[in-house]
Amino acid sequence: ESLSQNKAQTLGGHLLVECLIEQGVTHVFGVPGESYLAVLDGFHQHQGKIEFITNRQEGGAAFMAEAVGKLTRRPGVCMVTRGPGATNASIGLHNAFQDGTPMVLFVGDVGSDFRDREAFQEVDYNSFFGPNAKGLAKHVERIDDVNRLPEYVSRAFAMAMNGRPGPVVVVLPEDMLTHATTAGPLPRVEPVKYGPNADQLSHVLRMLSDAKRPLMIVGGSGWCPESAKLLEQFAFDWHMPVANAFRFQDVFDNHHELYAGDVGIGINPAFAQSIKDADLILALGPRLGEMTTGGYTLLKAPEPLQKLIHAHLNPEELHRVYRADLALASDMKSLMQGLCSLKSPAKCAWQGWTSKLHQDYVQCRIPSPSSDDVDIARLVEIVSQYAPSDTVFTNGAGNFSGWLHRFHPYHGLSRGHKTQLAPTSGAMGYGVPAGIAAAVTQRRTVVTFAGDGDFLMTGQELATATQHGAKTIVILLNNGMYGTIRMHQER
């Protein structure tokens, strides 16, 4: 009756969908649940503007939302029901947290009148996902007042994108979603821009002038095609060797004559030694975590032997593990605009050093003769030869991924597309759903490399792919074991 008397009113579940559309969301991934039926009805009302992708398990849904966050640099959205739905989705949250990917997880919850009674499937989400969990989510919010729903959604998107990007959890009491309101969506949120000042850029110039063997290590989630183009320009002006951090191999084009290789698992031993021999490291974007630093050995913690310039989106990440000689809190585009303003010398003293690092990378990509039944290195070479340049390559976790990372040269983000989706968190099961998300939202060629154990974590999402018309190519490397664990046991 009240709705018929006031046409301006809408249900909370419908308003939530309108808020997502205002934020530019086109796809939401999840498993339907009775705790958010009003939201599902809202998706139906707005079909054509936004699509709900029905997954087979919440872990796959969360991986897909995380992949969209990587591809678009705006929060991927996952929607799950209370209790088991939320806990199943936690693997995707952890991946988004460690990878620095913007993501928002909406959890349908028990009604407010049942709360704190251990109702059916009730969970304390602030305890499970909140600050005390350390590593699952940046923040947890609960919307009790339907009139404030747009405020909470806007804040969730802002928090997911600003600083070090990551996942935010928003809890939706079932009864709140069925309450009526006259509130409307708030405008689209954009990430805050900030960059280095003149004194800091002068400090960079002095450190470059003193260097003999500099090396850039680039990565993290803050890169876009524009900033990647500026990165190439800066590297070209200074004839600087560039390496990509662990599973951020598409930040700098692997075909470039200044490319030195990736810094991750199974690193080329010659390149590892070169990193130790460098006298200046410019770490632009990455956290410098365990995998990118070879277990904190390529750069000694807490004080590296090399001079260190560390730039990151979040000032709280600076000096957290490594004491930097110069710490820069900046978004990557503003950072690269500042660095490109520095006047480079007519000839750099390290040109021979740069050429050596690139040649070491080229040599490392030449596979050794194989007597195995399947020559995986050759397999990767053939796939790379025939795949279009904008192909998205995805993988989960396992020793099989080492062949892809070593032998496939990723096309750089500067060409306009992200071409690698891989979990720096080391989560098994990521590759298949990530590839499906890319195919659903971008309609590009997708190639997924998966191990048999990795595939069986989320292989049921091929049903999601079939339902939504996502065509991916899955190359399944079947050794009949959890190969990484077997390797460690034999060692």
Other Cβ atoms within 10 Å of 263 Cβ, number: 29
pLDDT at 7: 58
Tell me the mean pLDDT in the region 198-217.
97
Over range 338-346, report the average pLDDT.
Answer: 95
The answer to whether residue 139 scores a pLDDT higher than 90 is yes
Nearest CA to 232 out of 223, 222, 242, 224 is that of: 242
Quick one: what percent of the chain has pLDDT higher than 90?
Answer: 90
3-state secondary structure of 30: strand
Q: Would the pLDDT of 267 be above 80?
A: yes
| pLDDT over 70 (residue 2) | no
- For the record, the structure tokens of 458 come out as 């989320």
Lowest mean pLDDT among 159-173, 317-331, 365-379, 392-406: 365-379
Question: pLDDT tens for residues 361-417?
Answer: 999 999 888 888 899 999 999 999 999 999 999 999 999 999 999 999 999 999 999
Are 110 and 173 a contacting pair, CB within 8 Å? yes
The CA distance from 160 to 155, in Å, is 8
Identify which of 398, 426, 470, 468 has the alpha carbon closest to the alpha carbon of residue 99: 426
Q: How far apart are CA 205 and CA 185, in angstroms?
A: 46
Mean pLDDT throughout 236-248? Answer: 97
Measured distance CA(244)–CA(324) in Å, rounded: 19
Task: Report the 10 Å Cβ neighbour count for 392.
Answer: 26
Report DSSP state, residue 355: H
What does each C-alpha distance from 16 to 21, 53, 152, 340, 418 come to in angstroms?
Answer: 9, 16, 10, 42, 29
Per DSSP, the three-state class of 404 is: helix
State how beta strands 10-11 and 180-181 pair.
antiparallel
The per-residue pLDDT for range 430-442, each reduced to its tens digit, is 999 999 999 999 9
CA distance 441 to 146: 30
Pairing of strands 326-329, 27-30: unpaired
Instruction: Enumerate long-range contacts of 195-198, CB under 8 Å, 24 or more apart.
Output: 195/330, 195/331, 195/334, 195/335, 195/337, 195/338, 196/311, 196/328, 196/330, 196/334, 196/335, 196/338
**In the predicted model, is pLDDT for residue 1 greater than 70?**
no
Residue found under tokens 């989510």 = 137
Res. 42: pLDDT tops 90:
yes
The arithmetic mean of pLDDT across residues 453-482, rounded, is: 96
Does residue 6 register a pLDDT over 60? no
Looking at the DSSP bridge assignments, the partners of residue 169 are 105, 140
Q: Span 326-351, mean pLDDT? A: 96
Band (pLDDT 50/70/90 cuts) for residue 110 is confident
Measured in whole angstroms, the distance separating CA 125 from the mean position of its chain's CA atoms is 23
Q: Say how far apart CA 394 and CA 401 lie, in whole Å.
A: 9
Would you state the pLDDT for residue 113?
82
**φ/ψ of residue 256, rounded to 5:** -75, 145
Paired strand residues for 446: 392
Reported as a pLDDT band with limits 50, 70 and 90, residue 5 is low
Phi, psi for 315 (deg, rounded to 5): -60, -25
Q: Minimum mean pLDDT among 6-10, 58-62, 256-260, 316-320: which range?
A: 6-10
Beta-bridged to residue 79, according to DSSP, are 30, 106
Residues 6+ apart with CB under 8 A from 378: 367, 370
Q: What is the DSSP track for 166-204? A: -EEEEEEETTGGGSEE---PPPPP--------HHHHHHH
